[in-house]
Chains A and B, each alone.
Chain A
């Protein structure tokens, strides 16, 4: 088991490298001079040059890359070009809301989509299934921010039950914390519930077509038993896969949600940084997100091996 983990870890290195190179190159290709931006208007040419040297931007690109990589590996993500604060501090500051939204949404999604997907597969072709299928297509077609505005319109403006926007950390009280997160999670969750439900449904339907299901029926097992004891355990692998993919896609959705609901999280930080061309933050955050993504997939990979005894024998 350990050797497998090490092997998979080793395999992620080239991918991480590609990510780092892609991000680094994109940013270096940006027109506009970061040194000039930092120096501000009215700076003299010498001042800009001085800042440039200070930031290490006069070095050839491979050297800049090398320096940046070694710094990152030591935990130093540099300082924000705009605010001058260390990036790591800014990240830690704004991590809380993003983690809260992400975790709650994943939980919400899995708790709803897995049972609904199973039900839909079991009652395939019946009204329940048709309703779920139609709702799913609708769910992933409506953009997050539209769902968000619709929900805000209904629950905040018309009914007045929930706040329009904003974020309250846990320290402010559990109920207040959750109250502000209900709408964001509901908006974000809709899309992912739709996608995962669809996928759970088709995985179970596929599994139900396998030969060993026929054997189970031939034993005299009823449909409920077939579903729970045979189909579900075998569908676990593809379902884990799609949950992993969903977590990756979630990051994109979080960005938009934080924007609509004015939540001070990492998603909004990234967008602000990109628009302000603050390289250090952009590099750090995109690499951070990608690393999280890669490790989530690694974790899922390991989970597979626990669930399915066929792998690695």
Chain B
């Protein structure tokens, strides 16, 4: 929304040399080092960075919400509308919150007081800062509820937070933030915890509200796709330092700093690479697989949840099947049924010729060895009290392989994942998230499985690390011919790595095909919706330019 030709718009926020350090008598660590940036009227500034970059800390500093026993501002100035917040009294800062600057946080599910009604919580914002009669306040709240596109405002007013979905709760939080029309809205990863279709709605809503009220927005995110959609200007941060600052086009098309280049290039675009050769023999087949969870209260009807309904699927050697879906789609349940961590499913799953038992504990060691899994959270996937070597050898020694032989095999596999065999002596806490995920991969492939399940295995990783692990997965597939079930909520990632894409919704397979088929010519409305919700689809990140459709391909993306 900045118009280069016009005169300079007013500066709403000006941060100069902001320094934040940890609270410690003996040894304070710097968290933010001389961070400086400006935010102009009615524009969206995206602050981007990986974990540990300090982007959230910056936001908390501006709002004065740094946790006093952990962090403190050690230098710099924060000018909001010309007023220096760093010298303001606590009472003044309280008065500015919600009236001049507001914040929206990442987790909508826990952001609202669970024991008070929604209307009351919205009403509270007004009561804190203005003395208006009750009827007028109620009117303001109702108007705001309508503005954030919530149906049936009177019902929402009376509801409790647990009666609303994540997307609805986030709308409430946005309503609370904007009801007194502040000049600045800080949004800290507000859509990261939401499904991609909901994300699209919220992003659209925020853009609309910004247009109507003229609010400046600082949008913090790690997802460059989102940045490409909504940013006017971009600030890149890393390890508490600002790396680069510029307009959207400047940063995306011509990033000056090598870190920025690396960051932008790692972003998965939704457009799949060139078509791949056809498939080999089948290793896994699912027929009519269903899983129902039920609660049976003493009185009343049993409540059933159909996590999976009638799933049919074939997986071949040397194939990566990307299983994509939002929350509740059943994708994780499917993976866990295959590996036997979910019991009581019906239907047939065949591994080669063998019909699989439903629970892992009922399966023979032979079978277990052929199916392996890597989980989402690298920080909880390794026993923190055991050395890496012991954890990685566990599967092999379970069936009596001699320790020396197991050790050799693990060393070989460590080389494949790019780690030195000396890591076997160390403990998990000594490694980063990306390294731990490699170790978990090593633990899985040392068993020489036919099927490897990656259950959101890269979702918790920084985008640069994510790219490395995806490359590693492709490499492993090439070397060993293992079939990979790649579960993800991010269609863009699936598009980059899969040979076949499966789209799931409400426990059913909705669409199936090659990435080219699914993304360029989707058959189902839901698939289309997913594709259109994928942020940044119009930008080709790897090549630092807007996406240019290949001649002959029908773009499914508007």
Contact = CB atoms under 8 A, between A and B. Distances in A.
Interface string A284-313: 000000000000000000000001111001
Contacts of A234: 113-115
Contacts of B176: 215, 219
Contact of A313 (B69, B105, B110, B162): B162
How many A residues touch the partner, as a band?
20 to 34
Scoring A3, A230, A309 by chain B CB atoms within 10 A of each residue's CB, the highest score goes to A309
B473 interface: no
Given A3-B299, A233-B115, 10 more contacts: A214-B111, A215-B111, A216-B124, A217-B97, A218-B103, A220-B94, A220-B125, A221-B94, A233-B113, A308-B115
Contact of A220 (B98, B112, B162, B299): B98
Interface string B43-68: 00000000000000000000101000
B254 interface: no
Interface string A205-226: 0000011101111111110010
A218 B98 contact: yes
Contacts of A218: 63, 65, 97-98, 102-103, 105, 177
A126 interface: no
B310 interface: no
A310 B176 CA distance: 22
A221 B124 contact: yes
Contacts of A222: 94
Interface of B: 63, 65, 69, 94-99, 102-103, 105, 107, 110-116, 124-125, 128-129, 160, 162-163, 173, 176-177, 298-299
Contacts of A309: 114-115, 160, 162
A3 B297 CA distance: 10
A229 B94 CA distance: 16
A7 interface: yes
B128 A212 contact: no
Nearest to B126: A219
A220 B128 contact: yes
Nearest to B173: A215
Contacts of A233: 113, 115-116
Given A217-B65, A220-B99, A211 B110 contact: yes
B114 A308 contact: yes
A219 B110 contact: no
Contact of B112 (A212, A217, A221, A308): A212
28 contacts: A3-B298, A7-B298, A211-B107, A211-B111, A212-B112, A214-B65, A214-B105, A215-B113, A218-B63, A218-B65, A218-B98, A218-B103, A218-B177, A219-B98, A219-B128, A219-B176, A220-B96, A220-B97, A220-B125, A229-B124, A230-B116, A233-B115, A234-B113, A308-B115, A309-B114, A309-B160, A309-B162, A313-B162
B14 to A, nearest CB: 21
A19 to B, nearest CB: 23
A257 B288 CA distance: 69
Nearest to A307: B115
Scoring A3, A214, A216, A220 by chain B CB atoms within 10 A of each residue's CB, the highest score goes to A220
Contacts of A7: 298
Nearest to B176: A219
Interface string A182-216: 00000000000000000000000000001110111
